[in-house]
Structure 1
Amino acid sequence: MATLARRALWPAVAAAASLIAAVLVAPAPAHAHGVALVPGSRTYLCYVDGLQANGQIIPSNPACAAAVAQGGQQPLYDWFGVLRPDAAGRTTGYIPDGEICGGGTTKYAAYNAARADWPTTHLTAGSTIQLHYSNWAAHPGTFHMYITKDGYDPTKPLAWSDLQSFWSVTDPPQSGGPGGFNYYYWDTTLPAGKTGRHILYIQWVRSDSQENFFSCSDVVFDGGHGEVTGVGGSQPSGSPSASRSASASPSVSPSASRSASASASPSSPAGGGSGCTATWALQPSQWAGHFQVNVTVKNNGSSTLNGWTVRWTYTGGQGFEGAPWNGTLTGQPPNVAVTNVDWNKVLGPNASTSFGFNATGTAPASAPALTCTSP
């Protein structure tokens, strides 16, 4: 973020002063390691919720705001840093009950708060989703996944006895190299029969050291397909009737996944084809040489769509910073194509979903014309 204040042609003194000011406003992330991006962890989605155009973090979500009031902004600049250097795969008795989401650390203690208004990802029990886990620093190892047991109460401190193991994966593939906004990914079948609010907990156990990483993602099993609420002013908890944002987390960047209601101009008129339309919305989180976009895809037809692709053409040399979240990049700039992922492939009549991305370059002055097609 320090680059926000750098101007190569400024006099040396002015440049130094600006750099110091930028660091004070937006500390640069430490070279830590990773947490879940889909479904988004507490630290990640609170970063998404709070990130401002000037680099400060001022959350609108009440749980995130309380966490920042307690622990400051730095834990969210380091949203990928919930780790312990000597964990060595230990769980019960190593990290105390009530401190599990913060990894038993002082720095992330505020993210242990037992409350029901954290940013939330909406899922369907028994469905298969693709998990994304930041590879900010890549390591060999195993990801152990847990879900809270039936009857879990989000207003009570999380204990190890509340968690049950349901999946693990060793050395999954990566979307790209470390050091950016790429991620590990793997398909996971969620436990069947779950309803209501739960926590999806992941412990990443390195095989080349004793260092482990910890991630709590608040989810609700209500028939959702990865929608996220509780960021950008959307409702944080819910049911299928809740007013949910369709931009599931992120996945891939610290400024991903804002509610479409937070969109800034310009936005495009809907572009369509085969009953499918797509709408571009430039998001308010922008910084020098970078911008963020959310694209809403809607089935305006009378029959179910089984897959979709959105296309547009850049004319200003824009590119992608990392991969899209909730979409697969199948055509590279300038002739861009983004296709559905597994969990948002099927759209019934009047149903919608969305994908988003961070881009490099200058945001187009006018939104590009989008076309949406379905097989």
Structure 2
Amino acid sequence: MTRPPLRWLHPHRAALLALLAVLPALLLVFTSGDSSSAHGTPMQPASRTFMCWRDGLSSTGEIKPINPACKAAVAESGTTPLYNWFSVLRSDGAGRTEGFIPDGQLCSGGNTTFSGFNKARNDWPLTHLTSGASLDFSYNAWAAHPGWFYVYVTKNGFDPTATFGWDDLEDQPFLTVDHPSVTGQVGTVEGAYKWKGTLPSGKSGRHIIYMVWQRSDSNETFYSCSDVVFDGGKGEVTGVGDPGDTSTEPPTDPTATCTATRRTTGSWSGGYQAEVTVKNTGANPILGWMVDFALPAGQKVDSVWNGSATYSGQEVMVHNTDWNGSLAAGASTTFGYVASGGPPDTATAPPCTVH
């Protein structure tokens, strides 16, 4: 089976990329509330990472999975993937599927952080569905960005205990969604892309619904596995400890910490250039970070590199880019900026937050 790169399905994307190419490379200015990296995952039907996060929620804020498949995933990959249930992504994906993501790694998108979720088992949490019925799909928008959603399903006779590969999927998506809008508050569980779609007909028993979210403003691409059973259900969930939990914020990983150190690398009358070093000071890898600082009155940032900035008055929030958000324990990265309107800021350690 030959599965072309998804970008081939949209000829107008070339025109969009040509337009983006003429934008200044270093001036990364976004409207307030935007984010450099998209984040999200299916909530209906729910992905493995979302289901296992829900399964493991505890009153203390720790994640302690009950479902055996979720426990096995944590045994291999730790709990960090559950605190980052919305981050199964490849920053270099560019919408690619077969030939890019190896067989046996579809559920992690080839991202080694989530390798425990590739396990071939028949006890993952399940969503119960009816073949050929209409379903209200929901895809979390932890950080929203425009793009396309491609929804595949496995072929009849799929065996959940065998290695999951591209030949197990139907050749074409049964549903394609073009740049849906976001409802609810971005950055919470309620913030989501929503659409109504018809489930494939002629399906029964266990299957995987496989989704690919391809951003149209970046190469960043998300991959997910949602375990389902076509048994006449209407979206009910089984196999999780507390499917009815209504928490709007994922718990914070107590071991996920970072620091930021700023230094001036050049100055002149009315302006300066600064470099900020971000370091993962936690015990586990992190998938993203944000540095927040305030400029003195009258100053503004003219350009940013190796980071993406949002602004609110004098407040500046710099998020990681697609390529420097993932940091191993103890690893560091840098971003820089040029500011005008005054002398260098004397604050050398702005706050850093893991996300």
The TM tier, using the shorter chain, reads 0.5 to 0.7
Structure 2 residue corresponding to 1:190, chosen from 191, 199, 211: 199
1:83 aligns with 2:92: no
RCO comparison, higher one (Cα < 8 Å, 6+): 2
Q: Residues 159-212 of structure 1: CA distance to partner in whole angstroms, max 9, x if unpaired?
A: 111112211001112112422221100001000110000000100001011110
Deviation at 1:253, TM superposition (A): 6.4
- The 3-state SS of whatever aligns with 2:113 is coil
Quote the Cα distance in structure 2 between the aligned partners of 1:137 and 1:32.
Answer: 5
What's the counterpart of residue 179 of structure 2? 171
8 Å contact kept, 2:120–2:164: yes
Higher-Rg structure is: 2
Deviation at 1:231, TM superposition (A): 0.5
Mapping 1:188-267, distance limit 5 Å:
188-232=197-241, 254=250
Mapping 1:1-375, distance limit 5 Å:
33-164=39-170, 165-181=173-189, 182-232=191-241, 254=250
- The 3-state SS of whatever aligns with 1:108 is helix
Quote the Cα distance in structure 1 between the aligned partners of 2:90 and 2:155.
Answer: 25
8 Å contact kept, 1:41–1:218: yes
8 Å contact kept, 2:98–2:166: yes
Structure 2 unmatched runs, 5+: 1-35, 252-355
8 Å contact kept, 2:38–2:145: no
Aligned residue identity for 2:163: P
Quote the Cα distance in structure 2 between the aligned partners of 1:96 and 1:128.
Answer: 32
TM-score by length of 1: 0.54
- The 3-state SS of whatever aligns with 2:183 is coil
Runs of 4+ in 1 over 4 A off after TM superposition: 249-255
Alpha-carbon spacing, 1:37–1:172, altered in 2? closer, same or farther (3 Å): same
Alpha-carbon spacing, 1:198–1:252, altered in 2? closer, same or farther (3 Å): farther
Quote the Cα distance in structure 1 between the aligned partners of 2:219 and 2:165.
Answer: 23
Matched positions, count: 213
Quote the Cα distance in structure 2 between the aligned partners of 1:31 and 1:205.
Answer: 12
Alpha-carbon spacing, 1:69–1:59, altered in 2? closer, same or farther (3 Å): same
Aligned residue identity for 1:202: M
Aligned residue identity for 1:209: S
Q: Residues 76-127 of structure 1: CA distance to partner in whole angstroms, max 9, x if unpaired?
A: 0000000000111111110000000001011000000000000000000000
Quote the Cα distance in structure 1 between the aligned partners of 2:227 and 2:246.
Answer: 13
Structure 1 unmatched runs, 5+: 1-29, 234-244, 256-375
Quote the Cα distance in structure 1 between the aligned partners of 2:247 and 2:156.
Answer: 27
Aligned residues with identical type, % of pairs: 55
Quote the Cα distance in structure 1 between the aligned partners of 2:234 and 2:57.
Answer: 25
- The 3-state SS of whatever aligns with 1:169 is strand
8 Å contact kept, 2:38–2:144: no
Quote the Cα distance in structure 1 between the aligned partners of 2:248 and 2:225.
Answer: 17
8 Å contact kept, 2:94–2:214: yes
Quote the Cα distance in structure 2 between the aligned partners of 1:116 and 1:252.
Answer: 29
Aligned residue identity for 1:223: G
- The 3-state SS of whatever aligns with 2:175 is strand
Quote the Cα distance in structure 2 between the aligned partners of 1:81 and 1:35.
Answer: 8
